[in-house]
Structure 1
């Protein structure tokens, strides 16, 4: 190739000298003509190879099942490679054209070499971008932090590229330059602190499967409550449910606490865990007349009959004096209310009956006795889940009065007396 270039660009100067032109005039005239010829040839080479490469890649992309080559076309990889070929031609031609201009030969040689390094890095970047887009189409990799890994690889390549550029600019040996960079490694670590922390965090997140793209996470420290839409080297982007976007440092996922709702979304139900406060003063034993009235409630009618027979048998066998309701065993309005709510939950079509379901009494408080509902909605979608939970508690609040119970409420100003 070098001999061919010498034939193309090396014949002008001897020809001008043979025609009797001066040394300087022949040198500059051949230089200008050669530069013009170089530009024309480089452009022609670029257009030819661009047409060939683009045509080949598009042809292959249209006839293969894989989408990777389609993404190579989208990211214009062939066009950047087509730039590289005329650059190599220019790089080889410069020593011939500037043979009599040693200073400028050195300057232009270095500049073209630097441009080639940048172009090679850019080509590699387009290939990785195509690989990223291809992998994100695969269900297996769609939730993986691919951007983080590609960014790490590119940062390493850019560091190597910058090292090569510096060594070319100052005519340093590559090993000498690496030794110098090792001496200032502390400064490098300080500059790239967030990137290094982000890389370590990305590896931990990926290996431990802590967060995936598409996960719903809650991180109160940063006001994040929504779906993860992007994980890269330094930041994690969360689209909140109010359509705002929160940006979280990647290393915070490994150093701070956050809540990931993926387990709930993959389970068979979404938990309902909420309570009402019943006034303790409204809790009492039930008389036979009240039990007869409550038997008209279908869900607990059979339970009242069975329970009543059991209690009466116990009281008779133990000679219990029932002149006072407190003696022996009795049914209370709160206990019967809890049984009713349990039966109601077991008959609710929107609750998962195969998961834990109960109505329980918690430790009493100054505001009353908490009655907690613990169940799981079969529908895990947020709006439907909220509807199911509201439907359950609407019924509970409306049912309280049938058992002569009262729900605690703070008194309004008008009820205060002096």
Structure 2
């Protein structure tokens, strides 16, 4: 420690009539005991005076960040440095007649100060990380990755300085030796280095942030991101299992982030119903009269009737269905569903809204709904989707349509019975 400060303290003791160079073992023990008492008193003054007063001020403060610092005990850890610092200054004076012991104690106290200082800084970094989480800063920047990197850096610096203090050598000597072992360090901390670089890329491009819903089939991840650390990304899947993904894997491999869906305020429904081809046909006059009473179809029938009558009036032999144009039950059903969805209070009207017919397949003619719900919450989204398709299945018979369903064993037996 500072030699000038020790010399000043020694001069104060001499002026007070205290022998600073005791020769007897008893006198040395008394001096050591006095040093310990002074250090303990200093600790009590700082702990019960300064720290307690500052904690009282923090409790009364309306700010949230100082409460977090208090919960991590940052001030208490700083207070523990005070007695060691006092001992580091005055203990060599008590052991002046034992130069070797004084040197060993001085070095050990120096290392203790380094360790306590690192612990206090670690606590402050943890508190800063939680403050960033509370203020949602971590959603834009990988604060935890930076905190872990700084902790790692401080750990190596503390190790190097501690070894240099114990060996009584300059830290530059050990740093030069560390440079020779750079290749080994790169190999040992390959994942850490890759994870840090990946964390920077993830933050710069806003690829993934805590609370994002991501899907990465390669690692079996499908859920919300809970934590983005220096080397891994923690994902809590919807089945409540935890998946740990290497940070660099999110940069090198493909994954799906559903954040855009959440931010847009609309969640897509893209599902089709298979219509039995045998149930498709033209609408009869009775069908038109009956379906025209449906409120959603009144504008449709009015417009289509005028259009078809004008066209058919110009056609020779318009009584033949092949020569003229007629309404079909499947086309009328599509028009009904489009009008129904446009008036649905939970369907976004400012986003894509389609009711389209896809190419026929062996299981029928698909009528697909391509819409977006106004509520992106999973449970609500599923309820909206189920309600819409419940309505579709129940309303299809009104149009003379049937959903395609493969024959069961009972159906096949009934066919044989009929034959």
Q: What is the TM-score normalised by the length of structure 2?
A: 0.87
> Which shows bigger deviation, 77-86 or 60-69?
60-69
Q: In structure 2, list runs of 5 or more residues that go unmatched.
A: none
Aligned counterpart for 2:340 among listed residues 337, 344, 368: 344
Match of 2:26 in 1: 29
Match of 2:288 in 1: 291
For residues 247-268 of structure 1, the C-alpha deviation after alignment (integer angstroms, 9 at most, x for no partner) is 3322232223222222222223
Match of 2:6 in 1: 2
Match of 1:118 in 2: 115
Aligned counterpart for 1:356 among listed residues 341, 352, 356: 352
Contact 1:223 1:246 in 2 (8 A): yes
Distance apart, 1:93 and its partner CA: 3.1
Contact 2:22 2:97 in 1 (8 A): no
* 1:22-171 to 2 correspondences below 5 Å: 26=24, 28-62=25-59, 64-139=61-136, 144-171=141-168
Aligned to 1:408, the other structure's residue is in SS state coil
The number of residue pairs the alignment matches comes to 407
Describe the shift of the 1:198–1:15 C-alpha distance in structure 2 as closer, same or farther (beyond 3 A).
closer
Describe the shift of the 1:343–1:69 C-alpha distance in structure 2 as closer, same or farther (beyond 3 A).
closer
Whole-angstrom distance in 2 between the partners of 1:298 and 1:231: 53
Describe the shift of the 1:60–1:296 C-alpha distance in structure 2 as closer, same or farther (beyond 3 A).
closer
Match of 1:214 in 2: 211
Describe the shift of the 1:306–1:64 C-alpha distance in structure 2 as closer, same or farther (beyond 3 A).
closer
Whole-angstrom distance in 2 between the partners of 1:174 and 1:78: 29
Match of 1:365 in 2: 361
For residues 282-314 of structure 1, the C-alpha deviation after alignment (integer angstroms, 9 at most, x for no partner) is 222333343334323332234224323322322
Alignment RMSD: 2.7
Aligned to 1:416, the other structure's residue is in SS state helix
> Which shows bigger deviation, 274-283 or 91-100?
91-100
Distance apart, 1:15 and its partner CA: 6.2
> Which shows bigger deviation, 142-151 or 177-186?
142-151
Whole-angstrom distance in 1 between the partners of 2:67 and 2:11: 40
Distance apart, 1:110 and its partner CA: 2.4
Describe the shift of the 1:382–1:14 C-alpha distance in structure 2 as closer, same or farther (beyond 3 A).
closer
Match of 1:21 in 2: none
Q: Does 1:388 align with 2:392?
A: no
Describe the shift of the 1:293–1:73 C-alpha distance in structure 2 as closer, same or farther (beyond 3 A).
closer
Aligned to 2:313, the other structure's residue is in SS state helix
Whole-angstrom distance in 1 between the partners of 2:362 and 2:345: 35
Distance apart, 1:394 and its partner CA: 0.5
Distance apart, 1:397 and its partner CA: 0.8
Whole-angstrom distance in 1 between the partners of 2:221 and 2:211: 14
Match of 2:393 in 1: 397
Describe the shift of the 1:295–1:65 C-alpha distance in structure 2 as closer, same or farther (beyond 3 A).
closer
Contact 2:210 2:227 in 1 (8 A): yes
Aligned counterpart for 1:416 among listed residues 398, 407, 412: 412
Contact 2:138 2:209 in 1 (8 A): no
Aligned to 1:45, the other structure's residue is in SS state helix
Q: Does 1:246 align with 2:250?
A: no
Distance apart, 1:277 and its partner CA: 0.9
Q: In structure 1, list runs of 5 or more residues that go unmatched.
A: 17-25
Aligned to 2:359, the other structure's residue is in SS state coil
Whole-angstrom distance in 2 between the partners of 1:90 and 1:253: 51
Q: Does 1:205 align with 2:202?
A: yes
Whole-angstrom distance in 1 between the partners of 2:43 and 2:212: 46
Distance apart, 1:13 and its partner CA: 8.1
Contact 1:77 1:127 in 2 (8 A): yes
Whole-angstrom distance in 1 between the partners of 2:255 and 2:6: 63
> Which shows bigger deviation, 127-136 or 393-402?
127-136
Aligned counterpart for 1:174 among listed residues 159, 171, 175: 171
> Which shows bigger deviation, 186-195 or 246-255?
246-255
Q: What is the TM-score normalised by the length of structure 1?
A: 0.88
Describe the shift of the 1:254–1:120 C-alpha distance in structure 2 as closer, same or farther (beyond 3 A).
same
Contact 1:6 1:96 in 2 (8 A): no
Q: Does 1:282 align with 2:279?
A: yes
